[in-house]
Chain A
């Protein structure tokens, strides 16, 4: 009896909140720029600069990646640091505590009747899906500045591929298992690679993360300086991908270590 009373209270509160905020928001909405028109201050100042000369300056067709990796590259660096940090915190909080006793490795082949999550259908389809995801991830990584895509998506996709292999208990159980510490180290290497690409221009007289001043290819002609931007963005994308992949694998490894999938 007690709990559905509290649920009614919860529902009542919810309705009150919705009505109250709804009426308030109607008034607030009036001041905000109407959606869709192009001459609001938000769309007219810095944004137009990005659109008009993103391609010229950073040689990347996808303006969002240009803004993300080049104009505001510093933000993305600390974005990857946020991810790396969250993996670090997960490791610190969960590592080595309440380990689930490793269940004996059952060879699923003989155990016909186990309604295990794996089984042959899953195994067959799994063998096709994983390579496709991997290729797609790599594609997304290297086409970040031309079509959609970028470091985060690529890293996450590759981690998904690994995840599929890790979760579905197929016959070749636990073949490619990465220990969580190594995953964390991979992640830190990725982030460090990003920092290195930032530091390199500093030796060549540029500011931090200034791709025009990347030290290699000094012999390039003037107009190809812009190509350095592409190199810079690519290096960043690789760094981000490696870091994101390491982070996601590390988090999931730590967590999988603690759960048993035996039902």
Chain B
């Protein structure tokens, strides 16, 4: 499985995730997909050969996802805010 093909596939997956987040309806779903996005980004960096960057992306990806989830919880928790868009 040549590296460039792998990179291409991962990039296409990322584009798909981006489209899904933009068009998606529920916010919490978007956050979970976003966590997937940072996972794939970490994979992409390892494939490209940037081990250090991949390591940092992994750690920072988790922290920002946790932060997103807490933010949603604190936003949803307060007043009923219909999640249409």
Contact = CB atoms under 8 A, between A and B. Distances in A.
Whether chain B is bound by chain A comes out as yes
Interface of A: 3, 6-7, 10-11, 14, 18, 35-36, 62, 64-65, 98, 100, 148-150, 152-153, 156-157, 159-160, 163, 167, 248, 251-252, 255-256, 258-261
Please name the 5 residue pairs, one residue from A and one from B, whose CB atoms are nearest each other, closest first.
A259-B74, A156-B59, A64-B52, A3-B84, A259-B73
B62 A7 contact: no
Interface of B: 4, 15, 19, 22-23, 25, 51-52, 55-56, 59-60, 62-63, 66-67, 70-71, 73-74, 77-78, 84-85
B72 to A, nearest CB: 9
Nearest to A137: B59
Given A150-B52, A152-B56, A260-B77, A255 B71 contact: yes
A251 B67 contact: yes
Contact of A255 (B51, B67, B77): B67
B23 A252 contact: no
Main secondary structure on A side of the interface with B? helix
Given A148-B55, A259-B74, 4 more contacts: A148-B51, A163-B63, A252-B67, A259-B70
B59 A160 contact: yes
Contacts of A36: 4
Nearest to B57: A153
Nearest to B74: A259
B55 A149 contact: yes
29 contacts: A3-B84, A7-B23, A10-B22, A14-B19, A14-B23, A35-B4, A62-B52, A64-B52, A65-B52, A98-B78, A148-B51, A149-B52, A149-B55, A152-B56, A153-B59, A156-B60, A157-B59, A160-B59, A160-B62, A160-B63, A248-B63, A252-B66, A252-B67, A252-B70, A259-B70, A259-B73, A259-B74, A260-B77, A261-B73
Contacts of A260: 77
B2 to A, nearest CB: 11
B52 A258 contact: no
Given A11-B23, A156-B63, A160-B62, A258 B74 contact: yes
A47 to B, nearest CB: 13
A194 to B, nearest CB: 18
A153 B55 contact: yes
Contacts of A258: 74
Nearest to A36: B4
